[in-house]
Amino acid sequence: FYFHQSNKNVNLLNMEKLNFIKMNGAGNDFILVNQNENPNFIPKSEIIKQICNRRKGIGADGLLFIKKNEKYDFELEYYNSDGSLGSLCGNGARCSIKFALDNINIKKNKTSFLCNNSIYFGEKIDSEIIKFQLNKINELKLNQQIKLNDNLINSSFVDNGSPHVIIFWEDFKILTDNNFDEFDINNFGRKIRYSDYFKPLGSNVNFIKKEKNIYKIRTYERGVEEETLACGTGTVASAVVANLIDNILSPISFLTKDNDKLIVEFDKKNEKFEKITLTGPAKINYIGTYNFQK
């Protein structure tokens, strides 16, 4: 599917053409821009906000900027839809891995890349199932009490390249009359994300509910400032907490807001998590061009 956007009311001489690929990882959607095809593109905040706008632009949770790198297959810069430079994005990384294995090192099924000055690895399981290997857990705090609407709620915190609060539904459901699938996550997530507990940078907020042999997960993402259909690093952070609190062994499966399955695997040695991977769908929505103001 080919998409072309332009605004007839502006002078096209002052417009810049952007070649892009619209992708999604378990519903977490991104605009992927390859520097090789867009050598003059500079990912400025205002431009990113414009093209990620779902009503006036292409629309996405964020932008993936793929750059050349002499040592690795590529370098990834991730930008949130609010124009800010993002931290590690698990589903964005998986989409980037698919792009690289389809277009950069097409004779391989594995790739290595740089993101935020750290080295990461990924592989193609099949054409649309991509595995991403994360690095170590930077920070971990279990069973932290946070105050929300005059109630103390049990939560945990994990930084695995991105900061995440994890809250079990059983600890949270007293605050709402709705069920897990329908409660107002944007309201509660925003309060936690901007609370004094996580200043100055804030945190992503994940709610998880165990149902038989799988966890359901919903995530409020900072930078997007609303619920996304999936969050890769949030799913990994939730798996770590599920292992430590619920004693669930690897692999751990999660069902996203849009019913895609993400699988987290890891080795655990001396209470440390190693060889952490996130596996799930990564797909191309469409390829197109977009004209934006220079």
Active site residues: 89, 231
Please give the helix or strand (H or E) that residue 70 lies within, else none.
none
- The Cα 185–Cα 183 span in angstroms is 6
- The Cα 153–Cα 17 span in angstroms is 49
Q: Which of 106, 60, 104 is nearest to 86 (CA)?
A: 60
Here the tokens at position 50 are 């414009």
Instruction: Tell me the one-letter amino acid at 136.
Output: K
Cα distances (angstroms) measured from residue 129 to each of 24, 26, 95: 12, 10, 10
Instruction: Classify 287 in phi/psi space as left (phi over 0), alpha (psi -120 to 50) or beta.
Output: beta
Residues contacting residue 67 through CB under 8 Å, at least 6 positions apart:
35, 74, 75, 76, 77
